[in-house]
Amino acid sequence: MLEILYEDNHLIAVNKMAGDLVQGDQTGDEPLVEKVKTYIKKKYNKPGAVFLGVIHRLDRPTSGVVLFARTSKFLARMNQQFKERKTDKIYWAIVSPSISPPTITLTHWLKRNPKMNKSFAHDREINESKKAILHYKKIKNLDHYAVLEITLETGRHHQIRSQLTHIGFPIKGDLKYGAKRSNPDSSIDLHARSLTIDHPTTKERVCITAPPPAKPEWSFALSD
């Protein structure tokens, strides 16, 4: 069941479930883009093929806001906006152990290993590495974990996962990046909480927010 977060004639945003692919891959599993196309085709009774452009992606085990373009013109405009870093992205993550200090900026250089589908963070620039910057603040302490709110200055492959692991605080459930145990549903507790854009037609600033997964971990994390 799709959770639609925002929809107009130009754009549509959904709350991606952990485990969903944004685009198809070698697994052959139905990707989110095809599910949204089916939703549009049925809702608007559209004959023929439905255009839907993928503007950005989330890792398969991650949940949260994913935005699509409903026309090629608006796909190009949104791609440019992302390229020029005119969007604001906020992520929530549950990390282990409880992290300190409560607010910090992390700057590393990430080098991607395509064969492992993994990025490694380094404290200084090395050959073929890319600079990665994020900011986090701790929004809640749990018994054995902490909940972080993260903003990105750069958008590198597995950036949040790699940088947090590098400083010793892997995301809960993220075996690939050093978590001690997996989550039962194979998800990781990284959630794309919000995406703020300049609407390509109205030019107004639009903030799209996604509720976190309905799981005990997030209920405990966000309860007062």
- CATH for the stretch 4-222: 3.30.2350.10
The separation between CA 97 and the C-alpha centre of its own chain, rounded to angstroms, equals 22
Q: Which residues 6+ apart lie within 8 Å of 202 measured at CB?
A: none
The predicted model scores a pTM of: 0.93
- Mean pLDDT across the chain, nearest whole number? 92
172 compared with 47, residue with greater pLDDT: 172
pLDDT at 100 over 90: no
Give yes or no for a contact between 150 and 162, defined as CB atoms under 8 angstroms apart: no
pLDDT at 15 over 90: yes
Write out the two tokens for 132. Answer: 């990665």
Domain range annotation of the chain: 4-222
Confidence of residue 46 (pLDDT cuts 50, 70, 90): confident
Confidence of residue 28 (pLDDT cuts 50, 70, 90): confident
pLDDT at 26 over 90: no
Single-letter amino acid code for the residue at 51: F
Q: What is the dihedral of CA 219, 209, 87, 137, to 10 degrees?
A: -30
Say whether 103 sits in a helix, a strand or coil. Answer: strand
Give the mean pLDDT of 215-222: 76
**What does the pLDDT look like over 138-190, one tens digit per residue?**
988 887 888 999 999 998 999 999 999 999 999 999 999 999 999 998 999 99
Confidence of residue 224 (pLDDT cuts 50, 70, 90): low
CA torsion through residues 16, 199, 10, 51, sign: negative
Separate counts of helices (H) and strands (E) for the chain: 4, 11
